[in-house]
Structure 1
Amino acid sequence: MLDIRALVERVGPALLRTVISSEASTVAGDVVIAEPGEPTTATGGDLVLGVGITEAEQALRLVRECGERGVAAVLLKPPAAGLDEVVASVREAGIALIEVRQGTAWAQLVWLIRAALAGGIRQTEESGVGVTDLFRLADAVADVVDAPVTIEDAHSQVLAHSARQDLTDPARISTIMGRKQPDDVLAKFRARGTFRQLTKGSSAIFVPAQQDGTLPRLVVPIRMGGELLGSMWAVVPGPVSEERATAFADTAPLVALQLLRWRAVADVQRRRSAEQVRLLLEGGEGWRAAATELAVPNEQHRVIAIEMPSSDEPAEGQRLAMWEWITRGIGRRPLVTEIGSVLYALVPDRARGGGWPELRQALLSHELSPRPLIAVGTSVPVTDVPRSRAQADELIGLLRTGLVRQRVAIYDDLWHLLVLSRMAGAATDAGVATLGPLPVLREHDRAQGTEYQATLHAWLRHPGDPRQASRELRVHPNTFRYRMKRIGQLVDVDLDDPDVRSALLVQLLAERWAQHG
């Protein structure tokens, strides 16, 4: 038996979505199939699958029967799952309503739910046999197609490969050794339209041999519920018979089920890891236990904060894509979590093995779109991780204002801007903007359209160097000198006094930062 919420999480969002949760019965015991026109045999605690039910009347009849029998939940496909009258009837019956994604095969769903109810997914999670099962499955598929096989995810990462290596080439060796298809190999397959065919079809695709010595491939997409989960690649000596290609393609649904189980396990582990990373970032009680569970090495670490800009793509989808990207192919995977709209990674400050320098190079060398805001705190011991996170958060704030434009804002390089930001904030709170001669210049700029405050700021930044100050303002040096002369006529201020210059600079900085805050 399993809590319905946990069941939906383990089977995965690619197949199931909770429409209505039930307060009365939240534990599922078995799966029962209900067909149109047939009375259900379900009893209390069962999950009832409305196979073939598309009409409102059929769905309402099933919901009433299920409510009377005290079932745990009804599972329906669209459009029945989204009909207002069906949703209202489910609420009245006091049961749960789960939407089954279009394209999901009922037989596969029954197999996967029963595996979850029987503890298959939990057992896989605890025993660590999920990956082993994938390798065994790769061996079985290799026997079917009579060729070496790799099972890859949607990002061309190798999840498993068959043991047999009787037919191989440099591309396969590089793929297995690097745990993903090399970029140059991917480019060649893309140029042939292989990946375009994968996204559209479901049958086996034959890719002929290439001039660089890459042997022919037979490729099959792995789908579930309309989602492309990955692909299988078999190295073959040449064209394959239709019967064998069909047999190869027929193994895809079974691999899809195993991939969903594997992904469900990975999701559970990732969520647990994310909870522990959050404890480390926030400090307080429990951080030592979290560090122990995560096996965080006793060395210096940095916190990286990543925020995706607004776009047409849902923010959650962008962050998940970034999550997968940041944890792929860089030594030991960084420890990652989400807090609010920000993604955080905890990275060792070491030269190799997934350390900060390696990750920094990756962040700088990849042009990401849309471009995220990336900020990095200073190097700290594990006991002081919250301080590095606070610095990264401050830098993210500066990136949002546009005052900092670096692709990756690093505390070690920009600490002085945090000093100015804090100082400006304190000065603003103290009301220093109303003191001295600046209100006169501010009002003159507003009324006359002049730029005397900006001119004074440039002079204070470059004292005794009118040429540099004028270049900053993008005006002629004579124009700059004239403006400074007019400022002297408008206000009585002793710019030779270092304390006066310091006070004016604090005021101007406070105003500038407040405008961008």
Structure 2
Amino acid sequence: MTAPSRGTVLTLDTLLGLVGGDFVDVVHAPAGLDIPVVAVLIHDTSTTAQANAGDLILAIGVAVDDPDVEPLMKLLGRDVTLAFKVRDDAERDRLRESAIACDATVLAISPDLSWDQLHVLARRSISSTTAGVADERGVPFGDLFALANAAAASLEGPVIIDDERMEVIAFSSLGDPIDEIRQQSILQRRPPKDFIAWCETTGVLPRVRQSLRPVKVVPPDGATRLVTAIRGGTDILGYIWVAETTRELDQQSEDLLAEIARVAALQLLRSRISEDLDRRLRSDLLRGALSGRGDPGTVASRLGIDGRPFRLVSFAHEVPDARRGEGHVALRPLEDLVALRVEASHRRGAVTSCNDRIYALFPALDDRPPGEVAALSREIIGQADRQLHIGLRAAVSSEVSDVALVSSARRDIDRLLNLPLLDEQRRVVCFDDSVADAILSELTELVVDRPRLLQGGVAGMVVSDRDRGTEYLPSLRAFFGAGGDLTAASRTLYVHRNTLKYRLTRIRDAFGVDVEVPAQRLVAELQVAVFTAHPELQAGLEATDLGTD
């Protein structure tokens, strides 16, 4: 097969970002996701025999169980991407086994995405890709440092490019003399605090944002500068600063800087699109991993956890709405907020939403303390409260070393979020600190799935409380909660100690639950926890189903 030119091509990861992880899943990608996609072909005998590296072949009408699948994969190899429709996880697993055995690059396509839609989208994406094309000045799109150097050479002064938050994203490096403001801006990736304060008190930045022309400023203890806003429509994308050195910044300099700002706007907009696609792809890969789908090697490499441990965090609404569930909370602003904090922590990671919850994957960093992820989760909850007026709670997984365990880690932290144990002081719970709660939650799931495990004396107490107005279940719950201390338990119930003692005797005699017998006490405590966490189970109990006399 002939290798395609690497100049101006669509890559597999960009295509996946455009299509979306709800419709396409990476089954196996032995060559990674940076391989090119230069043409789209529909599978038949003649086209497949002539396939070249970089082709995307749509296996239309080919079933996963077809005996010709593995020979086809072996013929195409890892440099050609092969796409199949899959109906369920069982088919996806069989497809993965074949792809791994044949060392082939394979995608699984959801039945919800038509072949025609994928074909049109891929062809349009290939034809519209212009990555690596230079502008009319020969400056590569997206290379802001090259643009800064070109601007510095034209204006004969050092240049700094800031984003909309006044954080340095590029600067010239032509050896021009620099003052303290420029030096500190480059070192700290942000202008000095006293310079920013001067800009605010003098109204420099509002004036720059309102002006369509560059503005000349003379900061204290610094060189004269020209600054202009980088605009994308009505949005401010950033700022370009040029300092005066040997050449005076005149009207011609202003005209040139205004033109450079227009070029910078195109590059920043293009960069934002690329970043959005990259974030979306990582989000889709994480969503697949949470469900146990996707090629582990691709997921690990793309999310920055290849050979590195990580923690998974789940964010949920603090007080779920019983009528509408948690989905009434707008997830997109929350997802954006969490994603920004993950990126600001200098991690690759990923953020996604799934089943009305936000999930964030944090690769471990050697220079960060163990509790740093929990602390960051608390900060995110505080920001959501202040900025979005949304109350959140969060659960942090233990440290995980294998990407194949992402779905297992998700189940662990989801169980913690489902427990009624988070309050105003404990809105973030860590698995490492809550192993007992996690085990109890998993046992609760097991019991709920097997209702016969709820039969016995505790179920009889529930029926009695429901139908006769007795208070056996809350009495037993208080007794267990107090560690078997009758005095402490009676205080929480606001009854006399002897009253509680009588109830426990009655529970033993009428329902056969003796809290002095270790095995009976263990089972009773688990059943009480299940009925407490799932009150809906109480309504379905019938006296004839209790397994008691």
- TM-score w.r.t. the length of structure 1 is 0.60
CA contact (8 A) 1:280 1:291 kept: no
Instruction: Compute the displacement of 1:158 (Å).
Output: 2.7
CA deviation vs aligned residue, 1:331-370 (integer Å, no higher than 9, x gap): 4433555556555444343432x78655444444563224
Q: Which amino acid aligns with 1:369?
A: A
CA deviation vs aligned residue, 1:406-457 (integer Å, no higher than 9, x gap): 4433221222212111222232342555631554466547876x86533421
1:454 aligns with 2:474: yes
1:158 aligns with 2:168: yes
1:287 aligns with 2:296: yes
Q: Which amino acid aligns with 1:413?
A: D
CA contact (8 A) 2:335 2:358 kept: yes
CA deviation vs aligned residue, 1:209-249 (integer Å, no higher than 9, x gap): 36xx6777654332223333233344569x97777556544
Instruction: Compute the displacement of 1:484 (Å).
Output: 1.1
Q: Which amino acid aligns with 1:154?
A: E
CA contact (8 A) 2:157 2:242 kept: yes
Instruction: Compute the displacement of 1:290 (Å).
Output: 4.6
Structure 1 stretch 144-153 or stretch 254-263: which is displaced more?
A: 144-153
Q: How does 1:158-237 map to 2 (within 5 A)?
A: 158-163=168-173, 165-169=176-180, 172-180=182-190, 202-204=212-214, 209=219, 219-234=227-242
1:435 aligns with 2:456: yes
Q: How does 1:280-319 map to 2 (within 5 A)?
A: 286-291=295-300, 296-306=305-315, 314-319=330-335
Q: Matches of 1:315 and 1:417 in 2, distance apart? A: 27
Q: What SS is found at the alignment partner of 1:302?
A: strand
1:349 aligns with 2:349: no
In the alignment, which of 393, 403, 407 is matched to residue 421 of structure 2? 403
Q: Matches of 2:348 and 2:309 in 1, distance apart? A: 16
In structure 2, the gaps of 5 or more residues are 1-7, 19-38, 40-124, 319-325, 386-390, 538-549
CA shift in 2, pair 1:202/1:490, >3 Å: farther
Q: What SS is found at the alignment partner of 1:463?
A: coil
| Structure 1 residue aligned with 2:410 | 392
1:138 aligns with 2:148: yes
Q: Matches of 1:258 and 1:209 in 2, distance apart? A: 28
Instruction: Compute the displacement of 1:514 (Å).
Output: 1.4
| Structure 2 residue aligned with 1:71 | none
1:511 aligns with 2:531: yes
Q: Which amino acid aligns with 1:412?
A: D
In the alignment, which of 313, 337, 348 is matched to residue 333 of structure 1? 348
Q: Which amino acid aligns with 1:258?
A: Q
CA shift in 2, pair 1:263/1:397, >3 Å: same
Q: How does 1:76-155 map to 2 (within 5 A)?
A: 119-121=129-131, 130-131=141-142, 133-142=143-152, 147-155=157-165
Q: How does 1:63-78 map to 2 (within 5 A)?
A: none
Q: Which amino acid aligns with 2:131?
A: I
Q: Matches of 1:197 and 1:515 in 2, distance apart? A: 61
Aligned pair count reads 394
Instruction: Compute the displacement of 1:486 (Å).
Output: 5.5
Q: Matches of 1:195 and 1:417 in 2, distance apart? A: 52
CA contact (8 A) 2:167 2:191 kept: yes
CA shift in 2, pair 1:302/1:483, >3 Å: same
CA contact (8 A) 2:350 2:361 kept: yes
CA contact (8 A) 2:284 2:352 kept: yes
- TM-score w.r.t. the length of structure 2 is 0.57
1:495 aligns with 2:512: no
| Structure 2 residue aligned with 1:323 | 339
| Structure 2 residue aligned with 1:35 | none
Identity level (%): 23
Q: Matches of 2:172 and 2:192 in 1, distance apart? A: 19
Q: Which amino acid aligns with 1:256?
A: A
1:484 aligns with 2:494: no
Q: What SS is found at the alignment partner of 1:303?
A: strand
CA shift in 2, pair 1:357/1:516, >3 Å: farther
1:263 aligns with 2:263: no
Structure 1 stretch 408-417 or stretch 143-152: which is displaced more?
A: 143-152
Q: Matches of 2:476 and 2:270 in 1, distance apart? A: 65
Q: Matches of 2:172 and 2:227 in 1, distance apart? A: 15
Q: Matches of 2:473 and 2:489 in 1, distance apart? A: 13
CA contact (8 A) 1:141 1:149 kept: yes
Instruction: Compute the displacement of 1:495 (Å).
Output: 3.0
Q: Pairwise CA RMSD of aligned residues?
A: 4.7
Instruction: Compute the displacement of 1:516 (Å).
Output: 9.5
CA shift in 2, pair 1:468/1:250, >3 Å: farther
Structure 1 stretch 420-429 or stretch 460-469: which is displaced more?
A: 460-469
CA shift in 2, pair 1:290/1:401, >3 Å: closer
CA contact (8 A) 1:347 1:355 kept: no
Instruction: Compute the displacement of 1:320 (Å).
Output: 2.6
CA shift in 2, pair 1:515/1:317, >3 Å: same
Instruction: Compute the displacement of 1:256 (Å).
Output: 0.8
Q: Matches of 1:481 and 1:249 in 2, distance apart? A: 83
Instruction: Compute the displacement of 1:379 (Å).
Output: 2.2
CA deviation vs aligned residue, 1:450-507 (integer Å, no higher than 9, x gap): 8653342121132343465467x4x66xx36255146247643533222332232112
Q: Matches of 1:395 and 1:447 in 2, distance apart? A: 38
Q: Matches of 1:437 and 1:284 in 2, distance apart? A: 40
CA shift in 2, pair 1:515/1:194, >3 Å: farther
Q: Which amino acid aligns with 1:263?
A: R
| Structure 2 residue aligned with 1:69 | none
Q: What SS is found at the alignment partner of 1:121?
A: coil
Q: Matches of 1:285 and 1:197 in 2, distance apart? A: 50
In structure 1, the gaps of 5 or more residues are 11-26, 28-114
| Structure 1 residue aligned with 2:70 | none
Q: Matches of 1:149 and 1:516 in 2, distance apart? A: 66
CA shift in 2, pair 1:179/1:150, >3 Å: same
CA contact (8 A) 1:375 1:393 kept: no
Q: What SS is found at the alignment partner of 2:395?
A: strand
